[in-house]
Amino acid sequence: MRNDFSDTTIILPTLNEIGNIRKIVGMLTGRYRNVRIVIVDDGSTDGTIEAARAMGRRNRRIRLLDRSGRRLHAHTVSVVDGALLADTPKTVVMDADLQHPVEKVGELAGALDDHDLAIGVRVVVNDWGVTRRVVSMAAGNLAALVFRLRGKPTCRDMMSGLFAIRTSVFKGMIKGNRKGFQMPGCKILLDILKMCGRDASIVEVEYSTFHDRESGDSKLNARRMLYTLEDIFR
């Protein structure tokens, strides 16, 4: 694995992740030398913002975007706002709750040498209840079916929140068709796949485990599920 990741920005959307944020940032900076991290906080009240700001003071490659005062609060709009701050050729998006494997970030970033979009695909999911497994599988299968019927690109994990994308491609989507993003939603990969051109090069990167969050509460709720359904069909 290459030693320098100064060409990569990692976007970490956060909301009340005080139990995880220091750990995941430490893991990322320890493993990927010179990587840049943008922590996009959506209004935490548990000390996450203060922890992120302190880390940024110690490491100039860590940046906090505090969205507390913004009108709209959601995962997708947070990622979009964070992407606009990326100043490296490659952008990786991942959750801050330690569910996504840190060791796959390098592989995803490396895949962008030959591809426009690299998607982390879950092969084994641990620690999920039956309901969550069924809902996630059903949503993913539905999205894949609808996208195929519309001639849009698909992948084996349509609900993935772990992916890497060339920054120029991502910013081009945002600046060229900002309304194409379901801003109140939580599955930005669906929006990106919709906007990929026919000549876009997409690759999947498998990972074998996906755990439940180590700390804090899950953000999954009925409203987010509704936005996901709207995102599939819009």
Q: Which domain holds residue 206?
A: 8-233
Question: Does a structural domain hold residue 205?
Answer: yes
pLDDT category of residue 127 using cuts at 50, 70 and 90: low
Question: Does a structural domain hold residue 36?
Answer: yes
Total count of domains within the chain: 1
Question: Does a structural domain hold residue 47?
Answer: yes
The alpha carbons of the chain give a radius of gyration, in whole angstroms, of 17
Question: Does a structural domain hold residue 3?
Answer: no
**pLDDT reported for residue 170:** 98
Question: 41-69 in b/e burial notation, b at 16+ Cβ within 10 A?
Answer: bbbbeeebbebbeebbeeeebbbbbebee
The CATH number of the domain where 129 resides is what?
3.90.550.10
Question: Does a structural domain hold residue 150?
Answer: yes
Answering whether pTM is above 0.85, one says: yes
Question: Does a structural domain hold residue 69?
Answer: yes
pLDDT greater than 70 at residue 211: no
Question: Does a structural domain hold residue 60?
Answer: yes
Question: Does a structural domain hold residue 181?
Answer: yes
Residues 124 and 206: their CA atoms lie apart, in Å, by 10
9-56 pLDDT per residue, tens: 999 999 999 999 999 999 999 999 999 999 999 999 999 999 999 999
